[in-house]
Amino acid sequence: MLIIALNCGSSSLKSAVIDTERRSRLLDVRLEELDTSGLAAAVGQVLQQLAEGSRDRGSPDAIVHRIVHGGERFLRATRIDDKVLDEIDQLSHLAPLHNPPALAAVRQARSVYPQVPHVAVFDTAYHATLPDHAREYALPRDVRERFGIRRYGFHGISHAHVMHAVAAQLQVPAEKLRIVSCHLGNGASVTAIEHGRSVDTSMGMTPLEGLVMGTRAGDLDPGIVLDLVQSGSFGSKELDALLNRQSGMAGLTGTNDMREIERRAAAGDEECRRALALYAYRVRKYIGAYAAVMGGVDVIAFTGGVGENSPTIRRACLERLEFLGAKVLVVKADEELEMALEAAALLS
């Protein structure tokens, strides 16, 4: 099948035309630093570029869209109709930065290609297999039920791609492997993949939990948040800005660009050196924890902008983990291919 994948982030739009039989990209277009108000126009422009660039192959058989949050409702790839769009919209409060722009992209793409099937692939769906003990938070049941509090996990499309790529590279079925998948990009998460299923993952109810990220602190004592609220200086808006945009590597060093942080650390900047040590230590703790969860680990895989490109950071994350005896692999992130394959599987 010839499938257009639209991967709409909070400020970027990645897209590709994929031949699913050959598992290859015919072409891709990326737009960075997008303002969400201009997203619909950008989608229209990208679709036109893709159509022109792949004209000799005819029109696409389907369009696949990445949706960050599928809540409890969407546990697998789903063909989009008006009802599905409404249901995704109702989940927007769970991913306010991501679901609304993705929905705008779907609406625009449907108006350009009204006759072609559109499919939604969800970042949370891969983690639908989490066992209760990994999924639940130790809060009173009525509070959990009233607010839908549980671990959903994210980056599922990327972790699924890592699983398939590792299995293909080793020529061992995923069902026979225990993998710790480290997606280290601007956002970052680790997933324990046991016998082809996600059994734990570091992001939680929202993408704030877990690793130190570009602008998010990851794991925090919730008492810190209480303290800030009680101080009177932080309302929900200020907390949102602090936790989502001003913390993590940006909070520690003033930038979320890992290349710059590495350069500054190498030039002797103590603050950057300490920030990198904290970053790697947190990854290492999760790898160790997930090895314990699975009773061992066969493969530790790295993906994402940092995970793929920085041997120094990979080495720091793996320090003292030799005892695990795991193979270490680097996987080039390809969410668009994974999305297209899931859509093709649904439609055929």
CB of 293 to ligand ADP, least distance (A): 25
Catalytic residue among 19, 56, 123, 269: 123
Amino acid identity for residue 234 in this structure: F
**Which residue's CB is nearer to ligand ADP, number 100 or number 305?**
305
**CA dist 295 → 52, 203, 218 (Å):** 51, 21, 25
By CB under 6 A, name the binding residues for ligand ADP.
185-187, 214, 256-259, 262, 304-306, 309-310
SS3 59: coil
Q: How far apart are CB 276 and ligand ADP at their closest, in Å?
A: 10
| Structure tokens given for 267 | 């030039």
| Nearest approach, Cβ of residue 195 and ligand ADP (Å) | 27
As measured in angstroms, the least distance from the Cβ of 186 to ligand ADP is: 4
Alpha carbon distance 249, 129 (integer Å): 31
β 62-67/118-122 pair status: parallel
Residue nearest to ligand ADP (CB): 305
β-strands 78-79, 118-122 pairing = antiparallel
Number of CB atoms found within 10 A of residue 230's CB: 9
The answer to whether 11 and 42 have CB atoms below 8 angstroms apart is no
CB atoms within 10 A of CB 6: 24
Tell me the CB-side half-sphere exposure of residue 178, using CA atoms within 13 A.
16
Determine whether 269 is an active site residue: no
Give the HSE-up count for residue 17: Cα atoms under 13 Å, Cβ half-sphere. 19
* Closest CB to ligand ADP among residues 16, 344: 16
169's enclosing H/E stretch is helix 156-170
Q: What is the DSSP letter of 176?
A: G
Q: From the CB of 223, what's the least distance to ligand ADP, in Å?
A: 29
Which single residue is written with the structure tokens 């003033």? 254
Using the minimum distance from each CB to ligand ADP, give the nearer residue, 80 or 217. 217
Cβ pair 116, 63 in contact under 8 A: yes
Q: How far is the CB of 218 from ligand ADP (least distance, A)?
A: 14
CB of 74 or CB of 302, closer to ligand ADP: 302
Query: Is the Cβ of residue 145 or residue 271 nearer to ligand ADP in the bound state?
Result: 271
Q: Which lies closer to ligand ADP via its Cβ, residue 187 or residue 218?
A: 187
What are the residue numbers of the active site? 123
